[in-house]
A and B are shown apart, each in its own frame.
Chain A
Amino acid sequence: MAHSLSPECTPLKQEYDTCFNAWFEGYLQPVVAATPELRAEQTAAKTEEYNQKCGKIWESYRDCVQQRAVKAKGLEDLLGEARKENPLTKPPPPPPADAET
């Protein structure tokens, strides 16, 4: 598992990553396989499960990274500018169908 930019945050990061990865693996396959009607219900339940299971460790890890990595390394401005220039709040359009394959 990759390290955090701040060594102090690495244990929190690894605990969070473990939680997310376990949840994600259980999330992806049933949602992919579900029918559209079932999918909405399943998605809502799984989202709730994620917040319950990983919400707390996520908050600790996020705050650690914000304080000890982003702020401490002086990356706030660079990040702020990048977010302003390209917020990326929505998925980009799918790539044009490639004729090569």
Chain B
Amino acid sequence: MVYFSQQFNYNHPWSHVVIGMWHKYPNPHCSHVVTVDVLDRTVDPRTGIIRTERMLGCKQKAPIWVVKLFGGSEDAYVREISFVDPSTQTTSITSVNLSLSQFATCYEQIHYLPSPTNPSTQTVFRQTAEIQARMAIWRSMSDRVENWLAERFEQNALRGKLGFSDVLRSLWDGKEQPHSAHS
């Protein structure tokens, strides 16, 4: 697993950052995000928490070996769930890749909180990401490779036996004296 984390401040109050969140895309710095759709959104009348489920459509060229190994295309999709809680002034955003998720997952978490030192003018941004290959899949893939190799080996061994039998037959057939019976 690969772990990534960073933290820094934005020089804007929390509410401005959270309003800005919905205006982030399209963005020339993040041109790989081409579409954004809201799949689900609820506003809890009791807590005031807004939960939003979005799907981001990305276009990013994958390295050729990834495409060859896993198939896949330039189109990738990400599921993103955010919670905006105005009463505690917390925002969390969790993102997980949908595409190629059978092979590996990238689980990203972002939090926006008012800065403890300058709560009315600064917002802390915290980001963590866990990138993990699905070991079960690698194992089943290595099993498959092993089985394929073993089958190949068996086939080749059989071919070798047949081939060498032919060679021996053509070399010696008719020339060998039946000696064992009379000796």
Residues of A within 8 A of B (CB): 1-5, 9, 13, 16-17, 20-21, 24-25, 27-29, 31-32, 36, 39-40, 43-44, 46-48, 50-51, 58, 61-62, 65-66, 69-70, 75, 78-79, 81-83, 86, 88-89, 91-92, 94-95, 98, 100-101
Contacts and interface: CB of A to CB of B under 8 A. Distances in A.
A32 B89 contact: yes
A25 B16 CA distance: 9
A50 B90 CA distance: 21
A2 B83 contact: no
B87 interface: yes
B4 to A, nearest CB: 14
6 contacts: A1-B26, A44-B45, A50-B43, A75-B77, A94-B92, A101-B124
B22 interface: yes
A95 B124 CA distance: 11
Nearest to B100: A78
A interface secondary structure, majority = helix
A2 B18 contact: no
Nearest to B9: A101
A43 B99 CA distance: 37
A43 B48 CA distance: 6
Interface of B: 7, 9, 14-15, 18-19, 22-23, 25-26, 33-41, 43-51, 53, 55, 57, 77, 79, 81, 83-87, 89-90, 92, 94, 96, 98-99, 101, 109, 111, 113, 124, 126, 128
Contacts, number: 127
A92 B33 contact: no
Given A78-B77, A91-B49, A2 B94 contact: no
B111 A95 contact: yes
Contacts of A2: 25-26, 33-36
Given A2-B26, A88-B94, A70 B19 contact: no
Contact of B48 (A3, A20, A39, A61): A39
A28 B35 contact: no
Q: B-side binding surface: helix, strand, loop or mixed?
A: strand
Nearest to A96: B126
Contact of A31 (B36, B48, B79, B126): B48
A61 B85 CA distance: 25
Given A39-B87, A47-B44, 13 more contacts: A3-B36, A20-B22, A21-B19, A28-B84, A28-B86, A31-B87, A47-B45, A62-B38, A75-B55, A79-B98, A92-B83, A95-B126, A98-B126
